[in-house]
Amino acid sequence: MKKKPVVAAVGELLWDMLPSGKRAGGAPVNFAYHASRLGADSFAVSAVGNDALGREIMRELDKAGIRHLVSVLPYPTGRVLVTLKDGIPDYTIAENAAWDHIPFTRKAEELFQRADCVCYGSLALRHTDSRKTVEKLLEAAPGGALRFFDVNLRQKYYSKELLETLLSKANVLKLNDEEIKILRNMFRLPEEDGAACRYLLDKFHMRYVIFTAGARFSAVYAEGESSLLPTPRVSVVDTVGAGDSFSGAFVYHILTGKTLQEAHEAAVKVSAFVCTCSGAWPAYSREIL
């Protein structure tokens, strides 16, 4: 029996304050959740505050079965005000949250040293404390591991210098149709989205570039091959965590030997399912598994 792939995701852990109520989330933790639901040995590395919201979110992690290395710090637990327009989220992110100060620990380093995939985004690096930790953990990852960079651009919390650094550390890149516009201006990418993805694939020596275009389609690019699939039509409840579920599913299937096309098809299926649910950590139905 093949061993389960080990997935380590580091970054923000927070409450999405949705119109319908608060839901636990954070892109790297969402990624870890969905990879674990499919069968990966997944861990989330983050931090919460020594407060009621922090204790509650830790209970939610345990209830969802998310394995974690989460530090408790003297900063408030992260919160994001999420407003929805036609099911599409808009975010206002509280600053100086506990996840801005994720500490480097020996346990986290050991986890990253044995990981088959490590996942990170730009948002968690908005503060120097977490930035130093993420960069040290990425250095600990094996040379052959997937290094999954979800661009995850939010508000003002990114720069060209930061994105260049993070791109140079990655071999898998995920971005959406809004983020590619920002990168196009920063890096003078080709106007056509597919050509822009190919440019990023070549320039930064990526194994895969994943491009999601909301309700229209998604595409995955690799050297010598690509896959483009329409987005299934479903009854959307909200799209919170849908992109992260796509990422977690794609990585799990690649790590378990599926082809690019097979992994892409599975990712589309999972992401469409998540759009029919409320929140980022829905229980999986039998047909998804």
Q: What is the CATH number of the domain that holds 223?
A: 3.40.1190.20
pTM: 0.93
Q: Is residue 29 part of a domain?
A: yes
Tokens of 279: 């929140």
Q: Phi and psi at residue 143, in whole multiples of 5°? A: -60, -30
Q: Is residue 246 part of a domain?
A: yes
What distance in Å separates the CA atoms of residue 161 and residue 155, rounded to the nearest whole number?
16
**Cβ neighbours of residue 209 closer than 8 Å, sequence gap 6 or more:** 172, 173, 174, 175, 197, 198, 200, 201, 220, 221, 222
**What SS3 class is residue 24?**
strand
What distance in Å separates the CA atoms of residue 4 and residue 9, rounded to the nearest whole number?
16
pLDDT higher than threshold 70 for residue 289: no
pLDDT at position 37 is 93
**Per-residue pLDDT averaged across 87-104, rounded?**
90
Which range marks the domain in which residue 246 is found?
A: 6-275
Q: Is residue 135 part of a domain?
A: yes
Q: Is residue 160 part of a domain?
A: yes
The 10s digit of each residue's pLDDT in 220-277 is: 999 999 999 999 999 888 777 788 999 999 999 999 999 999 999 999 999 999 888 8
Quote the percentage of the chain above a pLDDT of 90. 81
pLDDT at position 68 is 97
Provide the number of structural domains found in the chain: 1
pLDDT higher than threshold 50 for residue 90: yes
pLDDT higher than threshold 70 for residue 287: no
The 10s digit of each residue's pLDDT in 135-182 is: 999 999 999 999 999 999 988 999 999 999 999 999 999 999 999 999
What distance in Å separates the CA atoms of residue 188 and residue 38, rounded to the nearest whole number?
38
pLDDT at position 56 is 98
pLDDT category, 286, cuts 50, 70, 90?
A: low
Q: Is residue 285 part of a domain?
A: no
What distance in Å separates the CA atoms of residue 108 and residue 74, rounded to the nearest whole number?
20
Q: Is residue 288 part of a domain?
A: no
Q: Is residue 281 part of a domain?
A: no
pLDDT at position 1 is 40
Q: Is residue 289 part of a domain?
A: no
List helix spans (H) across 121-241.
128-140, 160-169, 179-187, 193-203
